Structure 1
Amino acid sequence: MLAAAAQGEPDAAREALKAGADVEARDDRGRTPLILAATGDHDVVARILVDAGADPDAQDEQQDSAWLVTGVTGSVKMARVLIPAKPDYTLENRYGGTSLIPAGEHGHAEYIREVLKNTDMDVDHVNNLGWTALLEAIILGDGGEDHRKTVQYLLDGGADPKLADSNGVAPLQHAEDKGQDEIAALLRAADA
């Protein structure tokens, strides 16, 4: 089952289930088949696992779950597979973040738009560094089109443009310091 999930082989996954494979089996890093399918963006296998009752909240040794992995990969199709499984959107990764925070860092704009449209995730969740998804998109982003769209979708989803980091530095100040003029303009408009 683990190999079928990791390699994205739906027929092998179905056969493993028929043979009685454990849908919650763990590999040497504590990853379940559903986590492996999410990591590889194998949506067909993930759907098979979800239909078989796989736990979308099971976490591995690094505190990743299938849902949390989607924030890193930015996979809209995997998010759509997992949302019906009703994952715990408050579940945190090893950095104290929800899936929106790594999505902000990586500029996964379409993922953020999809998730904010179809879940009740807290758009202003603060991780262990004192950063929100909006702050991650600015601080760790490159200011390019993907991060600009990410900031726009976060703001559209209700992100607080004034919510400062743990040092009291607001998103606008970070954007200005990094020369992210278009993002700074978005933040000013949201605050108007």
Structure 2
Amino acid sequence: MATYRQPLRLGLTGGIGSGKSTVGQILASLGAALIDADQISREVTGPGGAAMPAIQSTFGGAYVDASGALDRTRMRQLAFSQPKARSQLEAIVHPLVALHSQQRIQQAIQSGAPLIVHDIPLLAESGRWARQLDAVVVVDCTADIQIERVMQRSGLSADAVRGIIASQATRTARRAVADVVIANEAHCTLEQLQAEVRQVAALFGL
């Protein structure tokens, strides 16, 4: 394996329902600094979040819930039906996520973290990450397993989950950018997944 700079920067990605977030949590428990783009996005679109004034100005109060946060269900419906709305939302949220991510990266470096893991749902769709990462880990499973998991945890219909999967990079495209693939199929128990993640972590000195 190549010699990497310290701290190593690892990209973690996978389709919805793949178990990517669970893998990120396991890596964090092993000592990695986890930079979770989804979590940061939820923070900036939460009550009083930095993105909320622009969201309200752009989309109107109907897309802000009673707590002052983004109404995710209504916005999800709009974003999937109107690509322009999705682009407008991304133009508001993504720069803020990038800013907050950079702040947390600096904190991780200052704290001496040996590995920084970037949890990036749309890594395969974005061309900007390749230059910033030492390696990419993809959490992989079949679409049927994705649908089953998401339906169980969120209550979405199978068709709704298929729509989300169709809007993301294909399984083939994600695997094409991977340096390491973690298989998290239906038969994989949490203990087996933890063991697999520990093996991957060891590759990067964690």
TM-score category (smaller protein): under 0.3
Structure 2 length normalisation: TM-score?
0.26
TM-score for both structures, normalised by structure 1: 0.28
Greater fraction of residues in strand: 2
Q: Which one scores higher on RCO, CA 8 angstroms, separation ≥ 6?
A: 2
